[in-house]
Amino acid sequence: MQPENDDQSPVSPETPATSRRTLLRAFAAAATFGLLAGCSGSETDDGDDDQAETDAESAGETPTSGGGSNTTPDTSGSSCAGIAGDPAPFETAGTPFVFSFEYPGTYTVAEPIAAPTGRSQPFESPAVTVDETTGSATLRVTQFYTPRPASAVETFINDRVGDSNGPFAVVGEQEYDGEALSVVGTAGADSLPLYELHLPYAVDGTRNYFRTGIEITSSLVEYDDEGDQILFCLSELDEAATTVLDSLRPNPETTIIDAAGL
């Protein structure tokens, strides 16, 4: 089976955006559903969203909600420190990842999820207790196999951030292999971390770009009397995600050519 266009994943601009909650769940499920959906050929966009929410819920993940407001408590000096952790290198030689990276060393490396459309590597944080709430986080690093020219990357980003009321925005630039790459992420300080960028790699002498996502889901959440979410450890969760983002480097031993059938 040839890799299909990764725009068919639940995080594509073509997917109806019903709420921030749905979008974040969709990206959270990209590792377990979006990459695998290309093999069935039977899912619709709406079905993808439904399945994405089911997958996220069954995994015990609690993204931020589009309804109501989110409260960020002061957790300085708390056990949230276990959610960040010192950087540790992840071995990417012999994998399809076109990049190498580091992850929080306190996290456990889980089994990778591979599919014709891409590959995702999950990492599980230790459980921590904050304000009598015990939970953990999952960090996922996902790369899709569809190569894009620079012009297509620009179009993709414009489509992604085109809705001024949507959850996505260009949140910065990342220096990578001599280029300043646009980083798309969730807008606002009350959101679980999600970063997306396109990383370059030369295929047959032509520089193409591969869509890459870094995202965090967390069960460190509780609700107040009005039903609003209280999200714990957001600063440490973002530190975990940026540990990966800031460490991205080219992987000279990638197997992307064989894995993607390029």
Q: Are the C-beta atoms of residues 135 and 124 closer than 8 Å to each other?
A: no
CA distances from 99 to 30, 45, 247, 250 (A): 19, 30, 10, 4
Write out the H or E segment, with its range, that includes residue 134: strand 133-135
pLDDT for the residue 187: 65
Q: Cα–Cα distance between 123 and 108 in angstroms, integer?
A: 5
3 backbone dihedrals φ, ψ, rounded to 5°:
-60, 130
Residues 165/189, Cβ–Cβ less than 8 Å: no
Tens of each residue's pLDDT in the chain, 262 residues: 444 456 544 333 333 333 344 334 434 433 333 444 433 333 333 333 333 333 333 333 333 333 334 444 544 445 898 898 899 999 999 999 999 999 999 999 999 999 989 999 999 999 999 888 899 999 999 999 999 999 999 999 999 998 777 788 999 999 999 999 999 998 666 789 999 999 999 988 899 999 999 999 999 988 877 878 788 999 999 999 999 999 999 999 999 999 888 8
Task: Give the pLDDT score at 133.
Answer: 85
Task: Check: CB of residue 189 under 8 Å from CB of residue 72.
Answer: yes
* The pLDDT of residue 155: 95
Give the pLDDT of residue 78.
Answer: 56
| Per-residue confidence (pLDDT) for residue 96, from 0 to 100 | 96
Bridge partner residues of 142 (DSSP): 120, 213
The pairing of strands 70-71 and 229-231 is: parallel
Ordered domains of the chain (ranges, CATH): 67-260 (3.40.1000)
Specify the pTM: 0.74
Residues 6+ away with beta carbon under 8 Å from 104: 83, 84, 85, 86, 87, 88, 123, 125, 139, 239, 240, 243
C-alpha span between 162 and 174 (Å, rounded): 21
